[in-house]
Amino acid sequence: MQALDDIWSSIKGNAKIRVKDPVIGAFVVSWVFCNWDKLTTLLWGVKTVDERVQDMVITMSLSNSISDLDLLALPLLLSLTYLFLFPWISLWVKRMQNGAVLSGHTHAVKLDIKRAEEQRELNKATLRADPGKEFLADEVKIDLQKEKNRLERRHKISEYIDNKNKAAKADADAKLAQAEKERIDLESKKLKEEVEKQRFESQTAIYKSTLASNRFPAAYQLMYFISQSLREDNIILSLDGLSNTAAALFGYTGAKEMMDDERFNNETLDDIKYLYQDYSFLAKRLDEIATNEHSDNEDLAGDILFEHLQGVIEKYPFDFLSDELLAEKIGEEIDVNGNDIIGSDELSGPMAETDTIFEEIELSVDGFNFNNVFEVSMSGYASGHHRKEPDIGGQDLDVKVVAICTPILGKFGLSKYKLKINGSARDYGDD
């Protein structure tokens, strides 16, 4: 019998080890879960034991096990899920519970601390209740001192609040006074601005009146000269025709534009150096003026008006020239004043590079154009002798000059030219 017990113990131990194995144990549990109906029929079926065993053998045969998922496939799938997927799910759940677990632990710790503090207070109260303790008198003194300090702090706080309220009230009064002062200053400023505005408007009116008084004599004088010149040929123009003729002479589109121009006065007329003669513009405008007169005089025509304008302009100190003649006139004036170009600051640098004493300059007109301003382009060279050897010619200087005449009255009343000068030492190696 001892041998049988040993054999049974061995079998029992091995079976226990196998059941505890995670793989075998998981598979056995999964298989029992999936095939509980077969086991129930085997153990408690209505047939005889031999018939139930025979049915179990047939059910678990290889041919049936392939088609029956409950025998192998499903238990194996559940085992793998339990072994590999459930640990991760469990880990995720534990992580999700970390906050709650930590909060519970924190709450427990705080509760223990609270209990300990209350126990300490209870112990202190119990100790103080003992009349035999010597420190009770000192504790009463300490409590009285605390009460005294508390009253002193309250008094200081009250005093601080009172002082702060007084300071706030004083500050509010100061701001109110400042606001009132600013209001008075603002009203005074507005009143002063109103007075200045009225004074400005008065001065503007005077200025406009002065300008008008300057414009009208200048326009009237020009119209008078034109009228007198036409009367010599028994040609009479209306006031509108005379004013439009005078306006066309300076490039205005009409008499109103001329009369509205603040610059049209005797002072500006004196500042005009050249009057640009745009014959195409003048011919068209003068023809329109002559046509609008509806005169019976057959001599009234645009070319006749132009001839009389040429004679009238001779009474004024400026030259009435076409673009070509104007460019030639400016070129001659610049050539006469060549020494001023030689002595200009623009050429001082290039001259210093040549080591030459320049004595004369030769310039010729290259071209001209009238686009908002009248420009004349000239080029040439300056020559002279060597600085150290008077008998030896020095290095020439290439010079370019642009003369610019700016309209100062209408479109055609031009100012005296201003020069743009530049130059460079001539490089004989390029010849």
First and final CA of the chain: distance in angstroms? 140
Q: Are residues 222 and 290 in the same domain?
A: yes
- Within a domain: residue 267? yes
Domain boundary among 321, 356, 376: 321
Please state, in angstroms and rounded to a whole number, the distance separating the CA atoms of residues 313 and 324: 18
Q: Are residues 283 and 382 in the same domain?
A: no
What is the pLDDT tens value at each position of the chain, 431 positions in all? 555 555 445 545 544 544 456 677 777 787 777 777 777 777 787 778 777 778 777 777 666 655 566 667 777 887 888 788 878 888 888 888 888 888 888 888 888 898 888 887 777 677 666 655 555 566 667 767 877 888 888 888 878 788 888 888 888 888 888 888 888 888 878 877 876 776 666 455 444 444 444 445 677 787 888 888 888 888 888 888 888 888 888 888 888 888 888 887 777 888 888 988 888 888 888 888 888 888 777 778 878 888 888 888 888 888 888 889 989 989 888 888 888 888 888 888 888 778 788 888 888 899 999 888 999 999 988 888 877 777 777 788 888 999 999 998 888 889 998 989 888 887 665 44
pLDDT at 405: 94
Please state, in angstroms and rounded to a whole number, the distance separating the CA atoms of residues 222 and 237: 14
Question: What dihedral do alpha carbons 406, 411, 414, 417 form, nearest 10°?
Answer: 30
Q: Are residues 289 and 384 in the same domain?
A: no
Q: Are residues 311 and 224 in the same domain?
A: yes
321, 277 in Cβ contact below 8 A?
A: yes
* Number of domains observed in the structure of the chain: 3
For the sheet containing 397-405, what is the strand order? Answer: 356-371, 373-386, 397-405, 418-425
Q: Are residues 355 and 309 in the same domain?
A: no
- Within a domain: residue 119? no
Q: Are residues 374 and 294 in the same domain?
A: no
Q: Are residues 78 and 19 in the same domain?
A: yes
Model pTM above 0.75: no
Domain boundary among 287, 305, 321: 321
Which residue's entry shows tokens 């057959």?
Answer: 298
Residues 6+ apart with CB under 8 A from 395: 354, 355, 356, 425, 426, 428
Give 3-state DSSP helix, strand, coil % of the chain, rounded to 5.
70, 15, 20
Please state, in angstroms and rounded to a whole number, the distance separating the CA atoms of residues 43 and 269: 137
Helical segments of 21-97, H only: 22-34, 36-44, 49-59, 62-67, 73-80, 86-96
Please state, in angstroms and rounded to a whole number, the distance separating the CA atoms of residues 148 and 142: 10
Count the alpha carbons within 13 Å of 282 in the hemisphere toward its beta carbon.
22
Q: Are residues 347 and 314 in the same domain?
A: no
Amino acid 9 reads S
Please state, in angstroms and rounded to a whole number, the distance separating the CA atoms of residues 228 and 9: 156
Question: What dihedral do alpha carbons 226, 227, 231, 232 form, nearest 10°?
Answer: -30
- Within a domain: residue 375? yes
Please state, in angstroms and rounded to a whole number, the distance separating the CA atoms of residues 56 and 41: 9
Domain boundary among 72, 98, 124: 98
- Within a domain: residue 166? no
Q: Are residues 303 and 352 in the same domain?
A: no
- Within a domain: residue 135? no
Q: Which domain holds residue 228?
A: 214-321
- Within a domain: residue 366? yes
pLDDT at 403: 92
pLDDT at 15: 47
Q: Are residues 281 and 328 in the same domain?
A: no
Q: Are residues 297 and 332 in the same domain?
A: no
- Within a domain: residue 276? yes
- Within a domain: residue 86? yes
pLDDT at 406: 92
Integer angstrom CA distances of residue 216 from 140, 238, 260: 110, 17, 10
Q: Are residues 231 and 295 in the same domain?
A: yes
